[in-house]
Homo-oligomer: A and B are copies of this chain.
Amino acid sequence: MTKNIAILGASGYTGAELVRLIHGHGGMKIAALSGERKAGMAMGDVFPFLRHLDLPVLQKIEEIDFSTIDLAFCALPHATSQAVIKDLPRDLKIVDLSADFRLRDPAAYEKWYGQPHAAPDLQAEAVYGLTEFYRDQIRAARLVAGTGCNAATGQYALRPLISAGLIDLDEIIINMVVGVSGAGRSLKENLLHAELSEGTNPYGIGGTHRHLGEFDQEFSGLAGRKVEVQFTPHLAPFNRGILATVYVKGEARAIYAALEAAYGAEPFIHLLPFGAAPSTHDVRGSNHAYIGVAQDRRSGRAIVFAALDNLCKGSSGQALQNANLMLGFEETQGLEGLALFP
């Protein structure tokens, strides 16, 4: 039976990506789209690549009749999301793509986001949306918090190692090279083609990037002790993709085995042969993630790589995967498309 879907905040990249994915799903119908500043516009005017589709006109959120909606994707900006969701019907299934419900601890939220949470009860209710590790809770959840795209990538590389006690928890360094679309449709000089193409730069350096809040929460939870990783993302001139290069102290073969055990049955997480490293070129536009492990020349040190598409597996694809679980579809439905290459 077809499910009615609303996308709130449809005028950003994750909203458009949701429309793209749902178009190929077969069991979902987009029944409502919201866009505050662009209310009244056709989706095809906001994203011309969608103009030949028959889609609802963008509305203001308060104009949407949620009684007919089976599930809402909430792709609103951080902070806006919690303000909106707390006023939505309390029986509406929601997958939130913002950062608002990722951190369970109100103090941690305030620390990383600089203000108290506006809906702490919902914060407590929300299930963390890293599908492969929260599958059962997601299936039963009403409100799922999509993970940060960097946070997801780093966790795919590290969770099985931490769970298995295979690495030194004080010596984890997560280096990332990330594509442009992660910054969203923001009008900033450094995101202009003229300034961003043809070079690279680190950002959010020195332990300031907000996705550290997620790493801290999840890794400390897994380890049963405080774990603080070091994390440096670098912006590079491609639109989709995150490559995590994770430096750890541990035995590479044991690490490989733990990853193999963790992901052997997963439909979207693939472990490469030992010693091989993934490329983001191979996941552009797909919901697949690739993991690789290499041994450093010094024993006891290993590198774990993870590559995924930040807009798909790192955000909207993950959201649809979770929605599939929440609505009773096959988990992979609508998500089996291959990467676009070249």
Interface residues of A in 138-183 (CB under 8 A from B): 173, 175, 177, 179-181, 183
Q: How far is the CB of A247 from chain B (nearest CB, A)?
A: 5
Residues from chain B with Cβ under 8 Å of A286 in the complex: 49
Say yes or no: is A278 at the interface (Cβ < 8 Å to chain B). Answer: yes
Q: B198 touching A198 by the CB < 8 A rule?
A: yes
Q: B193 touching A49 by the CB < 8 A rule?
A: no
Closest to A281 in B: B199
Interface residues of A in 112-151 (CB under 8 A from B): none
Residues from chain B with Cβ under 8 Å of A337 in the complex: 23-24, 337
Tell me whether A239 and B197 are in contact in the complex, defined as CB-CB below 8 angstroms, given that A16-B341, A206-B296 are known contacts.
Answer: yes
Q: Mark A269-298, 1 if CB is under 8 A from B, else 0.
A: 010100101111111111010000011111
Say yes or no: is A20 at the interface (Cβ < 8 Å to chain B). Answer: yes
Residues from chain B with Cβ under 8 Å of A193 in the complex: 180, 191-193, 196-197, 237, 239
CA distance A194 to B193 in the complex (A): 8
> Number of A residues contacting the other chain (C-beta, 8 Å)?
86
How many copies of this kind of chain does the complex include? 4
Q: A297 touching B228 by the CB < 8 A rule?
A: yes
CA distance A221 to B313 in the complex (A): 46
CA distance A255 to B245 in the complex (A): 25
- The chain A residues found within 8 Å of chain B, CB to CB, are 13, 16, 19-20, 23-24, 47-53, 173, 175, 177, 179-181, 183, 185, 187-189, 191-203, 205-208, 212, 228, 230, 232, 234, 236-241, 243, 245, 247, 270, 272, 275, 277-286, 288, 294-298, 301, 303, 305, 307, 311, 336-342
